[in-house]
Structure 1
């Protein structure tokens, strides 16, 4: 019989006479990690990590936020822990999904209410506008435009050929995207969350994941925000109180090390 399906975890076998819908069973791969408000045991066979908006316009000193006067130093702090964690997760078969803001060049799917958030007077540097005075790789880049330098993953983070890319157009990575369809096709139930801004794009995506029934785990040191500290504190409180769990890359790496011994 012929396999039919884009991933082994969700595949039929077909012939002229028969369709075999029995999916292959996934062997559990438990990982124990310290977390809050309780410690966790997760199944790596059903887990993916979603990395949100770690892209030049948010994290590079030559990007959009820096152009409008935002100190992007905090947004760069997840680079080092993510650079250590992602290769280890990939080596265990955990999918890595990059969910970056990436507008259509014509901005036809962006309503005035979305555009207003980023250019409230119509006189600023908003979505799709060219970065003034940009040079080098940033030359010609338009704010958060798909397939441009602005939307590319920031230097310091390596992308593997097996990684999955999803362009988003809202704070949440689930609205008007194929993120949910991809995760369900992968047979994923547990999501690790990383990226920027913690209180905006990361939190909105995590909330929607919780509403959709996913297990949600925020990797604290792999997230950051350029917002005031009280925004970070409130976000961590709300994740632990209402939407999931909070851990760190060290706790996950220690769990991976324990599995290997």
Structure 2
């Protein structure tokens, strides 16, 4: 009998046979990238990097989605679409995992507390989590619905990874951390909306868990007032990671592929 591989990720596998269990992970060559931040430069290894794209889905970014229904101008939330269209193919070509982190609640809402439901439907009379949208009829932020799907302009690739989240932090009560550890990821690139809410909460928790965090400023946006974005960028650079530029990253990726 020959040797067999156990493990869903090439970065985290055992090799086993009837005689031996080999737990050594294969060594990967370092692929260094250097980007400017707001005060210095940062160097990281593409080999242990993934990008997390947060909430670029219809309910937040489409005029007929949830935010549009309640009167929010979703134009700012669509700002990351073009830079992500340019960056993601270069990341895929460099074999950097692309993770789509979207709100995707259970249809029965059994994972959602009354306190969480109240945030989005404070009087119980509006269109809240799981309620049908007036235009499409899609249930708000429900897994498998049009409302929770990535916008058409950013159609995920077959090799991309999808993770549902149920809070502003994508780590709470989800499989995100297990997936990242299986991929042997230590550095996370963050993009998406809203940068001052779900992106920030996920980035903060990643920092708390020991990941190195890089916020792609030109691939992140918010429908909140400008001061919310400004404060977020300041606090990320000051406390939780570094603020970098996707266009600079894309240039380096394309020059090295």
TM-score normalized with structure 1 length: 0.96
What SS class does the counterpart of residue 12 from structure 1 fall into?
strand
Q: 1:124 aligns with which of 108, 123, 126?
A: 126
Where in structure 2 are the equivalents of 1:176-255 lying within 5 Å?
A: 176-255=173-252
Report the number of matched residues.
Answer: 255
| Equivalent in the alignment of 2:9 | 7
In structure 1, what is the Cα distance between the partners aligned to 2:239 and 2:124? 37
Q: Does 1:30 align with 2:27?
A: no
Instruction: For 1:92-111, list aligned pairs within 5 A.
Output: 92-111=94-113
**Which whole-Å CA distance do the structure 2 matches of 1:188 and 1:36 have between them?**
24
TM-score when normalising by structure 2 = 0.97
1:5 alignment partner, SS class: strand
Aligned-pair RMSD on alpha carbons? 0.9
Contact 1:56 1:149 in 2 (8 A): yes
Residue 61 of structure 2 corresponds to 59
Shift of 1:16: 1.4
Query: Structure 1 residues 32-41 or 174-183, which shifts more?
Result: 32-41
Deviation at 1:254, TM superposition (A): 2.2
Structure 1 residues 185-212: Cα deviation after superposition (integer angstroms, max 9, x where no partner): 0000000000000000000000000000
Tell me how far 1:232 sits from its aligned partner. 0.4
> For the residues of structure 2 that align with 1:106 and 1:257, how far apart are their CA atoms?
45
Q: Is the 8 A contact 1:102 1:145 kept in 2?
A: yes
Matched position secondary structure for 2:189: strand
| SS of residue paired to 1:162 | coil
Q: Distance in 2 between matches of 1:95 and 1:258?
A: 19
Q: Is the 8 A contact 1:75 1:224 kept in 2?
A: yes
Counterpart contact for 2:90–2:254, Cα < 8 Å = no
Q: State the SS of the aligned residue for 2:153.
A: coil
Q: Following TM superposition, by how much is the alpha carbon of 1:21 offset from its aligned partner in structure 2, in angstroms?
A: 0.3
* Counterpart mapping for 1:27-176 below 5 A: 27-132=29-134, 134=135, 139-176=136-173
Counterparts of 1:257 and 1:85, CA distance in 2: 10
- Structure 1 distance, partners of 2:146, 2:89, is 24
